[in-house]
Amino acid sequence: MDSPSSPPSLSIAIIGAGIAGVTLAIALSEHNPNLSLTIYESRREFSEVSAGVGFGPNALKAMALISPKLIAAYDQVKTPNLWPEKDHLWYEFRWADTGKLVLQVESEKGFAHCNASRVHLLASLAAIVPRAVKVEFGKRVIDVWGSEDAGFGKGGMGKTRIRFEDGTDAFADAVVGCDGIRSACRQILLGEDEKSAHAVYSGKYAYRKVVQMRKAIEAVGPEVENRQIYLGKGRHLLTFAIRGGQMLNIVAFKDGGGVPWTQRQWVVTSSREALLKDFAGCGDTASKILELIDEPEKWALFNHLPAPTYAKGNLCILGDAAHATTPHLGSGAGCAIEDVHLLSGLLTPSLIQSATDIKCAFLAYDSLRRPRSQDLVRRSREQGHILQLESELPDLANGNREAWQEYLEREMDVNPRWVWNVDLEGMLVQARELFESIRQGEECAVDA
């Protein structure tokens, strides 16, 4: 039982045990030990889809501000460029047909970009989730009701109610949806009729595979040990080392030519023949890398349209549930870490004394994080067009190689540097000021 001077015990349900949800649990445990935290995950264990992930200086800054434990967890699984003299490079860009170097984009202010296996990163993060955090697997959310709704039954009054597919309920003072691009929480928050409630096909797809680095070096030489992107009209190929340099992550992106994605599944089994046909005309190096892939998986690339809000009452969404993006800036997971930094910085004992305070914090989080994260989604699609040499500019539309060289040297790093250069601490200060304003005003008297 709480003493009169101690803050009230508040509970938060985190929906989803991916990178975003697990990181949020760690952050909230660090910033507010008074919170009772439960993670609900639809799968039967901690698991991740996709192969590789990378973080820019913005994400590492957010990790450092949250907890040094996050940096340590990432350090255990990250892999840099394998040549020390190329530590300072983000990517090397080459023409897909000739293999000739187009440009090198340097990392920001000496930052050394690294990549990791998503599976290994999630395992490293899950290992540092405090024991006080409860984790329940096999819990697929189908509905969330706010505390103002009737019919909660004994024990649930005043709480937010979560209904699961297995027929069970849970109650919490607030709910944070971290349940990914197909987020049920997003659909519940925005409503089924809202156009932005569901992800949309971006018009591009990708073949993904992880292969042994040893075989890649035998095929194309040791340059593959460093991050490379091969540029072609309507397609591009990306490679980077993971798992300590033992494996090579390969992603081959292709424009869909305006053909809609009609299959229910977003990831389908493809064939080596279909892959090589899609990338016919690539040069020797790119083709040999692609030939390493047998039984490729074909991934439709979806993203979210801008949502009108990320928060409603005591429910909010975070990470891919809020702003799923295409991977062309390699910043989706990093943006989720930024979300966690700001939200956990609001949900501190000095600010949060009641469930109503959490609602105010969610509104401040929405106001500060939604513009930047939605801009990221837009910029990532824009970067995809740059990487696939798609432009309506007269000098570029005809494929003039010299014009493209000048354009790429001028534009290739504009969007990445926008991602990397963000004042996270200043954003949190603004969010806390807004929180105080909301709490003092009338906004918290009704649902946003």
CA 306, 312, 315 angle in degrees (round to 5)?
105
Neighbours of 444 (CB within 10 A): 16
CA 392 to chain CA mean position, Å: 30
Take residue 379 and report the two structure tokens written for it.
């910029």
136: DSSP letter: E
DSSP secondary structure string, 22-78? HHHHHHHHHH-TTEEEEEEESSSS----SSEEEE-HHHHHHHHHH-HHHHHHHHTT-
Q: Which strands, in side-by-side order, build the sheet including 200-212?
A: 101-106, 89-95, 228-232, 235-242, 247-255, 200-212, 297-303, 267-269
> What does the angle CA 315 – CA 318 – CA 321 come to, to the nearest 5 degrees?
95
Chain length of the chain? 448
Looking only at the bridges linking them, the beta strands covering 79-80 and 134-137 are: unpaired
Q: Any alpha helices (H) in 268-354, and if so which ranges?
A: 272-278, 284-291, 320-323, 332-346
Name the residues annotated as catalytic.
208
Which helix (H) or strand (E) is 203 found in, with range?
strand 200-212
β-bridge mates for residue 235, sequence order: 232, 254
